[in-house]
Amino acid sequence: MSKVIGAPADTEAVIGLEVHVELLTASKMFCGCRNAFGAPPNTLVCPVCLGMPGSLPVANAKAVEYLCKAGMALGCTIAEYSKFDRKNYFYPDMPKNYQISQYDMPLTTGGSVTLPSGKRVNLTRIHLEEDTGKNVHAGESIARSAYTLVDYNRAGVPLMEIVSEPEISSAREAEEYLAELKAVMSYIGVSDVKMHEGSLRCDANVSIRPAGARELGTKVEIKNLNSFRSVGRAIEYEIERMRACVREGERIVQETRGWDEGSGTTHSMRSKELAHDYRYFPDPDLVPLELGRALLSRWRTELPELPAAKRTRYVRDFGLSEYDAGVLTSERSDADFFEAVAAASGNPKQAANWMMGDVRKVLDRAEMTLASARGRPEQVAALITLVANGTISGKAAKEVIESVMIDGRQPADVVAERGLAQTSDAGAVAAFVDQALHANADSVASYKAGKEKAFEFLVGQVMKLSRGKANVEMVRGLLKERLG
């Protein structure tokens, strides 16, 4: 790499992601301790997850099922035979001085994640392991803290590691890859995938090489990426740092670098360990995993419709755009809500407009989600129907939606209470129309002389006379009739 001299345009970035996903099982990977976030420190522990001498691990069947389902959803090949290995290293958050993981026989290989552009990022493997505990530094950083505390509640939580091939070529693609993985995991319900609680974590391997080259450059692993945004920013920063190194004729060092959110930079943490440093060997306390075909095919039938299939169906059956379908399917709960509104109103397009428009707006303003809102799909559908059958105008509906979503009120009640119903009584509307025509002879004359704009003015006058209550479609119809 050091011989490559050139402008940034002459290099391309090569990125691979290692994503850790905590599985949403009731208990830990090899013991009966509860798997939960946020409990008081060291309250969810036992001799097994603390690595006490003589304790024996037993694999959690649900974790194996969840990992296999994740693999199936991503098109991976599931190994009917695999085993657990010990990865040996010393670090205070690892009470046994080794982590139970999978080395040469992971549960799945292959598979891929498809990005919105249609590009497929292939997966190397997904393996099952246990999470470590958590070091809690007393100060703001290791260097500044007088002491470090260790919380072992997380030690032994089932964790899957999803490793991609180095086929991602920009920060944006990395974020898209993560978003799709997150959507798939939340759809199949194997994890709550909350980056801020650490149940979804990501390390990025980044390197650069001359554009079009086949050989990979020296890679750097970036850790401490706590949000989609920090993944993108860190990758962008690192690519630029490497390009600057190349320009200056410096050698890029293979190392692990930490991302610092505050300064927006990466810093050297340690030179990268090689696999043989870990002295992997099969865990003698655990039997190998043998999954029968019958079990695997049963799990396959239990998979729900996945985001990609839903998007295709929304475009095909509901006539939505790719973009709208993408937004509506990014969370399973949102997609379920939308489909319920579409079914109850019989109007998928309007349902999509409301979900992505005014419903979203009022929820964002109140800092609520669909799950925490009191409004239910049937109420949103009822509001759509009130507009469709002419009871209220679209404008009035926008005034009603907040009470529906935030307070859980019935749209018809809000309409009655605020007197928002339109006048669709033909006689009453005709009276307003005639009154407006009589009072605006000039506009009538200019319309007849070919000035289309005068028509809208007259519509406005009728609406004003009716104090906004006249059914605007009826007004238009009657005006055309009278002026025709």
The answer for residues whose C-beta is within 8 angstroms of residue 18's C-beta and 6 or more apart is: 161, 162, 163, 164, 202, 203, 204, 205
- Partners of 207 in beta bridges: 14
Instruction: Please count the other Cβ atoms lying within 10 Å of the Cβ belonging to residue 466.
Output: 21
| Torsion-angle region of 468 (φ positive above 0: left; ψ -120 to 50: alpha; else: beta) | left
- Single out the segment in contact with Zn ion by CB under 5 A; choices: 47-55, 174-182, 238-246, 349-357: 47-55
Q: Which stretch binds Zn ion (CB under 5 A): 42-50, 269-277, 371-379, 468-476?
A: 42-50
How many residues line the site for Zn ion (CB under 5 A)? Answer: 5
According to DSSP, the residues that pair with 100 across neighbouring strands are 86
Tell me how far, at minimum, the Cβ of 24 lies from Zn ion, in Å: 17
For every residue of 329-364, DSSP letters joined together read HSSHHHHHHHHHHHHHHT-HHHHHHHIIIIIHHHHH
Bridge-based pairing state of the strands 158-164 and 77-78: unpaired
Residue 46 binding Zn ion, by CB under 5 A: yes
8 Å CB contact between 132 and 171: no
The interface region with Zn ion, picked from 24-32, 223-231, 363-371, 420-428 by CB under 5 A, is 24-32
- Of 369, 370, 359, the residue nearest 402 (C-alpha): 359
Q: Contact at 8 Å (CB) between 84 and 267?
A: no
Number of helices (H) and strands (E) in the chain: give both, helices first. 16, 17
Q: How far is the CB of 31 from Zn ion (least distance, A)?
A: 3
Does 465 bind Zn ion (CB under 5 A)? Our answer is: no
End-to-end alpha carbon distance in the chain: 78
Among 33, 185, 225, 415, the residue binding Zn ion under the rule CB under 5 A is 33
Smallest gap from residue 41 Cβ to Zn ion (A): 14
Q: Is 31 in the site for Zn ion (CB under 5 A)?
A: yes
Based on the shown chain and the rule CB under 5 A, indicate whether residue 157 belongs to the binding site for Zn ion: no
Alpha-carbon gap, residue 458 to 463, rounded angstroms: 9
Nearest CB to Zn ion, comparing residues 49 and 94: 49
Which region, judged by CB under 5 A, interacts with Zn ion, from 45-53, 103-111, 249-257, 313-321?
45-53
- Smallest gap from Cβ 132 to Zn ion, in A, equals 14
Q: Which stretch binds Zn ion (CB under 5 A): 4-12, 44-52, 110-118, 396-404?
A: 44-52
The beta-carbon contacts of 439-445 under 8 Å, at least 24 apart in sequence, are 444/483
Q: How far is the CB of 29 from Zn ion (least distance, A)?
A: 9
Give min distance, CB of 194 to Zn ion, in A: 22
Question: In this complex, which beta carbon is closest to Zn ion, that of residue 23 or of residue 373?
Answer: 23
Q: Give the count of alpha carbons within 13 A of 13, CB side only.
A: 25
Nearest CB to Zn ion, comparing residues 38 and 292:
38
Considering the rule CB under 5 A, would residue 183 count as an interface residue with Zn ion? Answer: no
Q: Is 59 in the site for Zn ion (CB under 5 A)?
A: no
Which one of 13, 15, 23, 49 is in contact with Zn ion (CB under 5 A)? Answer: 49
| Binding segment (CB under 5 A) for Zn ion, from list 38-46, 113-121, 236-244, 461-469 | 38-46
What beta strand segments (E) does 277-393 contain? 281-282, 289-290
- Per-residue contact track with Zn ion, 285 to 314, x per CB under 5 A? ------------------------------
Pick from 100, 96, 93, 97: which is nearest to 134 by CA?
Answer: 93
Q: To the nearest whole angstrom, how small is the minimum distance from the Cβ of residue 34 to Zn ion?
A: 9
Contact residues: Zn ion, CB under 5 A = 31, 33, 46, 48-49
